Amino acid sequence: MKFFMPLFLICSLVEQAVAQTPKDTTVAVGSKLITLSTVVIDNKLNVPSFIEKIKSDTSFYKAFKNLRILNFDAINDIRMLDKKGNLNASLFSKTQQLASKGCRTMKVLEENVTGDFYNDDKTYNYYTAQMYASIFFTKGEMCGETNIVAGNEFSTEGKSGMEKHKEQLKMLFFNPGRRINGLPFMSNKTAIYDDDIADAYDMDIDFEQKNGINCYVFKQKVKPGKEGNVVVDEMNTWFNETTFDVVARTYTLSYDAGVYDFKVNMEVQMTQVGILTVPAVIRYNGNWKAIFKKRERGVFTATLSNFLLR
């Protein structure tokens, strides 16, 4: 008996501790069921307002637009692979962008190329490389550059062929999770924050540090069996606790429309340049196929540094 009471007391205390341990809570926002961590609950986050901020967020695209008005150095590492993962072609280069008075130019400081990365006329042999160049490379002098987002939405109007595909993929990369018109077969499958596809995702909000910044992290992952109903399979976004600007994002996009298909993983890490947010590291791993084009398997990393506003 003398061992029974201590054992009884220990069990009782354990039960009380478990009962008092904070638990995650699920809340409904429209048709969305979102699991909140105990830290988020303790912070008394206004979840409906937070979701609206996410839906209307322009800080992610704005960060890339900020690159148009800054000096910066870049290390560019692009690799094109065959179906076994062997290297077909590559480009490794160091570049420097110079921006002043609304104009920008680019210097190539170093470049090493392998395989058939370029065509004979020095144009890009791979669409993945074309897309990379359209975002990070500059030919000649480009003027009239601003970092204004309002009124500068992506559009496929007036574009056809590969230029249209390029614009469509930019829409997905810069505005993941938003409804995007002009994407055949999948325009209504990209808006992952909308109620009409909310039941396709598990959603969580947690609180973490990212790059030394306190962040709310919003996580969405497609439920098993729902993959064919969406384009964004998974997306994790870290939002600055104070400004709600995007600090980092990882996302996986995939779709098979018959005439084209893709599977893309992206990671973007931001940094601050004064009051401006800019991407510092961008990683891409993609496999895509468009009609009349050979399948491309590409991996690239862009590392940006030495930012300066003039």
DSSP, residue by residue, 70-116 = EEEEEEEEEEEE-TTS-EEEEEEEEEEEEEETTEEEEEEEEEEEEET
pLDDT tens across 194-215, in order? 888 888 999 999 999 999 999 9
Of 104, 39, 117, 37, residue with least CA distance to 76: 117
Return all residues near 195 (Cβ < 8 A) that are at least 6 apart: 30, 31, 32
Both tokens of 73, joined, read: 């150095």
Relative orientation angle of helices 161-174 and 127-136, to the nearest 10 degrees: 60
Both tokens of 14, joined, read: 């354990």
pLDDT tens across 44-65, in order? 999 999 998 888 888 999 999 9
Computed over its alpha carbons, how large is the radius of gyration of the chain? 23
Residue 298's DSSP bridge partners are 80, 286
Q: What are phi and psi of 294, to 5 degrees?
A: -70, 150
Per cent of the chain over pLDDT 90 is 59
| pLDDT, mean over the chain | 86
pLDDT tens across 152-169, in order? 666 667 777 667 766 777
pLDDT of residue 14: 43
d(CA 280, CA 103): 21
10 Å Cβ neighbour count for 190?
A: 23
pLDDT of residue 152: 66
Which of 48-57, 264-273, 297-306 has the lowest average pLDDT? 48-57
Of 75, 74, 54, 59, residue with least CA distance to 219: 54
The stretches of 161-200 forming alpha helices (DSSP H) are 161-174
Q: Any idea which residue has 């996410």 for tokens?
A: 54
Structural domain boundaries in the chain: 25-309
Of 209, 211, 277, residue with least CA distance to 243: 277
* Stated pTM of the model: 0.86
Q: Is the pLDDT of residue 7 over 70?
A: no
Burial class (CB in 10 A: 0-12, 13-18, 19+), 82: exposed
User: What type of residue is 292?
Assistant: F
Both tokens of 42, joined, read: 């303790």
